[in-house]
Amino acid sequence: MVVTEYELKPQNFPRFPLDWSEIFGRKAKIVVEVGFGNGEFLTELARRHPEKDFVGFELSITSFVKAQKKFKRYNLKNVRLVKVDARFGLRELFPDSSVEKVYINFPCPWPKKRHEDRRITSYDFLQTLSAVLEMDGTVEFATDEEWYAREVLDTFESSEYFVVDVFEENFRRDVETRYERKWKSQGKKTYLIVARKVKSGIVKRLMEGENNMAHSVFEGNVTWEKLKELEGKVFKDENKIFVVKKVYRDNDYLLKVISTDEGGFQQMYYLNLSGRDGKWVLIFKEGRNMKVRVDADACIGCGVCENLCPDVFQLGDDGKAKVLQPETDLPCAKDAADSCPTGAISVEE
Ligand SMILES: C[S@@+](CC[C@H](N)C(=O)[O-])C[C@H]1O[C@@H](n2cnc3c(N)ncnc32)[C@H](O)[C@@H]1O
């Protein structure tokens, strides 16, 4: 079973930062987890606090697949996941003073000097937290590295925006994370810091305002049946002719369009249509011809590709992925290759 319904794609929204009460359909406290790993901590929090809404950031696709399965098992309604760097996501997707709490559990410490910019706890990230957290909102940071804990403690203590309420060695919380269990079972020490916001900071957002990736934003009633009726229809606009060749759907709708101008020049592209509650965002996607292959030995039959791109992939009777269109221009083929946890899918452009 592959579940994708909890993933939120920022590019499909008309404005930034996002209106989370619209996304969750209610006004509730928002809690964020940075780098949710296999999702067990986030699942437990969301189960124990149905009155709050939860947002997780991760970069690993495998983590996305595992976490969403857990959410589905408990039919959770109060959690969404975003596949972007949390430093970027917290800054661009959350308005000022909108987050009650941010958990950062056992992030990679990036111990080498030349990698220190990669640490999630950089100065810039603290600045973001000082803006997006509500007053008295907290950051909970856990690590197994003493030097890292002391560095983060020092950063919070020397910041005018935070006070440190907790610095604890070998802490215990109601819910453990996978890495916490791992380090504890190896007899390693663990450290917890809880820092509370006492002053609001200012952060400069790069994408604030209209989503300028969007071609158009509109309101109205769009249905699969109505879109399907567009297949084969021809539209004229000044000196161009457009034909809607095919309409696809997964989480969004995709219209394959061919346009021809007076000189006979043809172009193929996709229109990605996504929306909710009557608000729709239309984005152009260029079509490119790709050769798709599946390495059957590497395929574990997880079904991610079939779920993301059913017109190109299908799980066969042997439980392995089969390619239905070895040459395709469907952009979801690339998504499937990027998301394949074993790298069994290759796409050549
Ligand atoms: C060591 S694991 C810890 C996982 C989990 N929090 C736990 O305690 O079991 C760190 C996780 O953070 C994710 N990660 C690293 N940098 C990130 C970033 N900038 N934004 C979001 N997630 C990130 C990694 O993909 C990885 O899954």
**Does the beta carbon of 40 lie inside 6 Å of ligand 1?**
no
What pLDDT, in 10s, does the model give residues 218-254?
A: 888 888 999 999 999 999 877 788 899 989 887 788 8
User: Where residue 121 sits, what CATH number does that domain have?
Assistant: 3.40.50.150
**Does the beta carbon of 59 lie inside 6 Å of ligand 1?**
yes
Instruction: Please report whether residue 205 resides in a domain.
Output: no
Model confidence at 215, in pLDDT bands (50, 70, 90)? confident
Q: State the residue range of the domain holding 229.
A: 214-286
Instruction: Please report whether residue 168 resides in a domain.
Output: yes
Distance CA 63, CA 7 (A): 12
What are the Cα distances from residue 118, in Å, to 112, 123, 140?
Answer: 10, 11, 19
Query: In total, how many domains does the chain have?
Result: 3
Q: Is the dihedral of CA 157, 163, 167, 172 positive or negative?
A: negative
Angle, in degrees to the nearest 10, between helices 146-157 and 123-132 = 50
Domain boundary among 286, 313, 338: 286
Q: Are 214 and 282 in contact (CB under 8 A)?
A: yes
Model confidence at 2, in pLDDT bands (50, 70, 90)? low
What pLDDT, in 10s, does the model give residues 182-197?
A: 999 999 999 999 999 9
Domain boundary among 148, 163, 197: 197
Closest CA to 149 of 186, 178, 183: 183
- In a shared domain, residues 319 and 180: no
The mean pLDDT value for 262-279 works out to 79
Domain boundary among 163, 197, 231: 197
**Is pLDDT at 52 greater than 70 in this prediction?**
yes
Closest CA to 28 of 57, 56, 54: 54
Which residue owns the Cα nearest ligand 1 atom 10?
A: 107
Buried b / exposed e along 24-37 (16+ C-beta atoms within 10 A): beeebebbbbbbbb
**Is pLDDT at 288 greater than 80 in this prediction?**
no
Instruction: Please report whether residue 202 resides in a domain.
Output: no
The mean pLDDT value for 317-338 works out to 88
- No. of H helices and E strands in the chain? 10, 20
pLDDT at site 74: 97
Instruction: Please report whether residue 176 resides in a domain.
Output: yes
- In a shared domain, residues 281 and 297: no
Cβ burial, residue 156 (10 Å; 0-12/13-18/19+):
buried
- In a shared domain, residues 78 and 179: yes
- In a shared domain, residues 295 and 278: no
Separation of 138 CA from ligand 1 center, angstroms? 19
Atom number, ligand 1, closest to the C-alpha of residue 107? 10
Q: Which of 81, 120, 175 to mutate for ligand 1's pocket (most ligand atoms within 8 Å of CB)?
A: 120
Distance CA 129, CA 46 (A): 21
Closest CA to 132 of 197, 185, 188: 197
pLDDT at site 92: 92
Q: Is 299 helix (H, G, I), strand (E, B) or coil?
A: coil
pLDDT at site 170: 97
Q: Which residues are annotated as a binding site for substrate?
A: 112, 144, 177-180
Instruction: Please report whether residue 208 resides in a domain.
Output: no
Which residues contact residue 5 at a Cβ distance below 8 angstroms, ignoring those fewer than 6 apart?
A: 68, 72, 251
Atom number, ligand 1, closest to the C-alpha of residue 85? 20
pLDDT at site 47: 98
pLDDT at site 1: 62
Instruction: Please report whether residue 204 resides in a domain.
Output: no
What are the Cα distances from residue 178, in Å, to 38, 42, 61, 93, 279?
Answer: 7, 11, 17, 27, 39
Q: CA-based angle 65:70:72, to the nearest 5?
A: 95
pLDDT at site 328: 86
**Does the beta carbon of 57 lie inside 6 Å of ligand 1?**
yes
**Is pLDDT at 300 greater than 70 in this prediction?**
yes
- In a shared domain, residues 133 and 224: no
- In a shared domain, residues 186 and 277: no
pLDDT at site 174: 95
User: Where residue 302 sits, what CATH number does that domain have?
Assistant: 3.30.70.20
pLDDT at site 212: 74
- In a shared domain, residues 190 and 230: no
Q: Are 270 and 257 in contact (CB under 8 A)?
A: yes
**Is pLDDT at 296 greater than 70 in this prediction?**
yes
- In a shared domain, residues 98 and 241: no
- In a shared domain, residues 19 and 157: yes
**Does the beta carbon of 60 lie inside 6 Å of ligand 1?**
yes
pLDDT at site 308: 82
Atom number, ligand 1, closest to the C-alpha of residue 40? 9
- In a shared domain, residues 175 and 260: no
Highest mean pLDDT among 52-66, 158-172, 309-323: 158-172
Q: Which residue has the higher pLDDT, 309 or 322?
A: 322
- In a shared domain, residues 186 and 275: no
- In a shared domain, residues 47 and 133: yes
Distance CA 20, CA 263 (A): 47
**Does the beta carbon of 190 lie inside 6 Å of ligand 1?**
no
Separation of 35 CA from ligand 1 center, angstroms? 3
Q: Which of 58, 91, 102, 104 to mutate for ligand 1's pocket (most ligand atoms within 8 Å of CB)?
A: 58
pLDDT at site 282: 87
Q: Which residue has the higher pLDDT, 307 or 344?
A: 344
Instruction: Please report whether residue 4 resides in a domain.
Output: no
Instruction: Please report whether residue 1 resides in a domain.
Output: no
Element (H, E) at 128: helix 123-132
